[in-house]
Structure 1
Amino acid sequence: MEASCTRLFTRAELKTRNKREDAVLIIHNGVYDVSKFLEEHPGGEEVLLEQAGKDATEPFEDVSHSSDARALMQKYKIGELVEEDRTQEKTTTPSWTEDKPQEQGKCVLA
């Protein structure tokens, strides 16, 4: 049985990984190598390259990515930030919930 371990990165070592052939993003303390995804990104490669080498959590959440996009991210995850470089995650409800919208305007009067 093979042991699985997560590779840890510092923000300092990721800062220079901001080129087309080596583009890395930090999202929710996870590290993603998006170099091979640049041409496929629906929003264009420029958006990813602009955030490469940085923490892209806020811009990522501002766009309200779908659950499919979030699932696809796992394919590109290469590790996580070291404990001392992690940001504290907010405990707010995400805007991308899959709950069905409540029906409005249907009221039964007795």
Structure 2
Amino acid sequence: MSEQFTKKDVAAHSSVEDGLYIIVDNDVYSLGGFVDEHPGGAKILKRVGGKDATKQFWKYHNESVLKKYQPRLKIGTLREEAKL
């Protein structure tokens, strides 16, 4: 079973120093060690750190990219939070 994160948990990792987490399709990825490898450069990853990057991800990538990196970078899923 994978670890579950809240949006607040992800937001606490908004920089490389904090681990740089992002959300794509309700899955949580840790990109701190991937920043220097990213073909599009570190700047774009740093801009979406700690946030839901689903829209930006799918704008520039296809499913094969996700399949390639998911086993290495996915650390969990986004936990649904109660709506009050």
TM-score normalized with structure 2 length: 0.86
% identical aligned pairs: 34
Runs of 4+ residues over 4 Å off in structure 1 = none
Structure 1 CA distance for aligned equivalents of residues 62 and 43 of structure 2: 17
| 1:44 aligned onto 2:34 | no
TM-score, with normalisation over the residues of structure 1? 0.67
The CA deviation string for residues 15-52 of structure 1, in whole angstroms up to 9 with x for no partner, is 12111121001000000000000000000011101000
User: Secondary structure at 1:59's aligned position in 2?
Assistant: helix
For residues 42 and 66 of structure 1, do their structure 2 counterparts lie closer, same or farther at Cα, with a shift above 3 Å needed?
A: farther
2:6 matched residue in structure 1: 10
Q: What is the aligned-residue RMSD (CA, Å)?
A: 1.5
- Post-superposition CA distance 1:50-93 (Å, at most 9, x none): 000000000001113361x21213211000011238xxxxxxxx
2:57 match: 60
Name the structure where helix makes up a greater proportion of residues: 2
Larger radius of gyration: 1
**Unpaired segments ≥5 residues, structure 1:** 86-110
Query: Which residue among 20, 28, 34 is the counterpart of 1:23?
Result: 20
Given candidates 66, 69, 72, the residue that maps to 1:72 is: 69
Q: How many residues end up aligned between the 2 structures?
A: 80
Bigger drift between 11-20 and 48-57 goes to: 11-20
